Amino acid sequence: MNEALARGWLLAWILLGAAPAGALALLLVHRITGGRWGEVLGPVLRPLAGCLPLVGLGFLGLLLDLNALYPWAAAERVKPDVAAYYLNSILFALRGVITLSGWSVLAVLLLRGSCTRLVAGLGLAFYGLTISLVPVDWILSVEPDFTSSAFGASIALHQILAALAVAALVRPAALDAESAPDLANLLLAALLGVLYMGLMSFVVAWYGDLPPKAAWYLKRGTETYALVIGSACILGGLIPFGFLLFAAVRSNPFALRIVGFLVLIGLSLRFAWLLLPAYVEGAAAAALAALVILALIAGLAVAVSQRLRAWSRRLGHA
């Protein structure tokens, strides 16, 4: 597989998989706790979580050319003991398959209404365990010299925020002025969590004064990537945060659509900032490939949804 295409696929896959995984986590939480917010957002979150089996199929695209994505796959810059016992192709594939299969099974159980509170609790524990592992595999291991114990929790917050942003953008039919503040509160909490984790991870890593951590941030502090992360923080963080402070916005479903759109733009830039600097050569080509892949998948999704709506209308008239 072409290197740019492989790297573009990785970025597009990470972006597309964030919201379904976040929707799964939210649905599991709601199954345990209940609440009006889950009933209102359920018509969006359930089909979103139902996309997880497709996300699992997309994982196969990574396995086609691991050498183009991860230096450890080509036995570069990784200690032999680490490569032997953790960062190797077989264990990478095994962890990914177990994680995505488990998430997909949980999503199917939720869609079928077969997920009891006990299963939801066990599912949340499984999600918590796996989300502490696979983001390191899929994202951080593009530069295996850098480690972060908080990275899994940070990605979990990114996923939950992505799912809530999609729900705000799609706007469920039951979302009105009375229930919109629930979604606004969830968006605000998840957004604050993402901003806090990002800032504190930087502060801890930078002031720890460890060369591998400093080098990781310095590579992402060049003019181009400083602009990327600055845009992500402003467009997807500070502006939505400012909007959500106003009661008029919090109770307005249309205004929340704008917030959701801005948040998704910010998350896309954030993931690009995390991944692309690792590829010193070909980062622009990888970004372009990711955009093309996202556009193609979006067009396919629109076409399929239109066909499904037409099919459902025909069934209704039959």
- In tens, the pLDDT along 147-174 reads 888 899 999 999 999 999 999 998 888 8
- Angstrom distances, CA of residue 290 to CA of 9, 13, 23, 297: 6, 9, 23, 10
Angle, CA of 259, 262 and 264, to the nearest 5°? 110
Domain layout of the chain by residue ranges: 3-317
What tokens were used for 263? 């948040």
pLDDT confidence bin for 278, thresholds 50/70/90: confident
User: Which pLDDT does position 81 carry in this prediction?
Assistant: 67
Q: What is the mean pLDDT of the chain?
A: 86
pLDDT confidence bin for 316, thresholds 50/70/90: very low
User: Which pLDDT does position 28 carry in this prediction?
Assistant: 96
Place of tokens 């004064």: 209
pLDDT score of 79 more than 70 = no
pLDDT score of 302 more than 60 = no
pLDDT confidence bin for 285, thresholds 50/70/90: low
Angle, CA of 313, 314 and 316, to the nearest 5°? 65
pLDDT score of 308 more than 50 = no
CA 280 to chain centroid, in Å, comes to 23
Q: If you average pLDDT over residues 170-184, what whole number do you get?
A: 89
What's the pTM value of the predicted model, to 2 decimals?
0.90
pLDDT score of 177 more than 80 = yes
User: Which pLDDT does position 297 carry in this prediction?
Assistant: 67
The answer to whether the Cα torsion of 162, 163, 168, 169 is positive or negative is positive
User: Which pLDDT does position 286 carry in this prediction?
Assistant: 63
Residue 110 neighbours by CB under 8 Å, 6+ apart: 24, 27, 28, 31, 46, 49
User: Which pLDDT does position 101 carry in this prediction?
Assistant: 96
What percent of the chain lies above the pLDDT cut of 70?
Answer: 85
pLDDT score of 1 more than 70 = no
User: Which pLDDT does position 24 carry in this prediction?
Assistant: 96
pLDDT score of 36 more than 60 = yes
Check if the beta carbon of residue 180 is closer than 8 Å to that of residue 250: yes
User: Which pLDDT does position 220 carry in this prediction?
Assistant: 87
User: Which pLDDT does position 312 carry in this prediction?
Assistant: 42
What tokens were used for 185? 């509160």
> Which architecture, in CATH terms, is 3-317?
Up-down Bundle (1.20)
User: Which pLDDT does position 318 carry in this prediction?
Assistant: 43
